[in-house]
């Protein structure tokens, strides 16, 4: 997003959000947004979906590791159920990515 001077004489990064008295303030905002993963308006949803997919797959991996070492059968049953739910979430995200990429 470009940094521009508003009609009120302030500096702004993009079309929404905070306005700064100096261009440097708007540049700091832009740098912070990019450092936190902003890749542009068109790609933000895709980025969120990819990050969410990674988190779902990581949760499946962690539950699998815990199941292997857990001695409580009732807790293992709960964690197996959780794996199924996380898998379903991952599949939904893959479907969304398939439709939107």
- Residue 30: name the closest of 21, 39, 86 by CA: 39
Amino acid 74: pLDDT: 98
Task: Tell me the C-alpha to C-alpha distance, in Å, between residue 55 and each of 10, 31, 49, 89, 96.
Answer: 39, 25, 10, 10, 16
pLDDT-wise least confident of 68-72, 89-93, 95-99? 95-99
pLDDT tens per residue, range 33-70:
878 877 666 667 888 899 999 999 999 999 999 999 99
Residue boundaries of the structural domains of the chain: 3-35, 41-100
Amino acid 39: pLDDT: 65
Name the maximum alpha-carbon separation found in the chain. Answer: 66
pTM of the model: 0.59
């Amino acid at each position: 997003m470009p940094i521009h001077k508003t009609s009120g004489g302030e500096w702004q990064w993009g079309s929404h959000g905070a306005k700064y008295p100096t261009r440097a303030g708007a540049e700091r905002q832009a740098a912070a947004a990019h450092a936190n993963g902003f890749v542009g308006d068109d790609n933000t949803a895709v980025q969120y979906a990819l990050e969410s997919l990674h988190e779902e797959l990581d949760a499946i991996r962690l539950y699998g590791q815990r199941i292997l070492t857990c001695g409580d059968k009732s807790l293992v049953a709960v964690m197996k159920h959780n794996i199924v739910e996380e898998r379903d979430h991952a599949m939904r995200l893959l479907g969304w990515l398939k439709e939107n990429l």
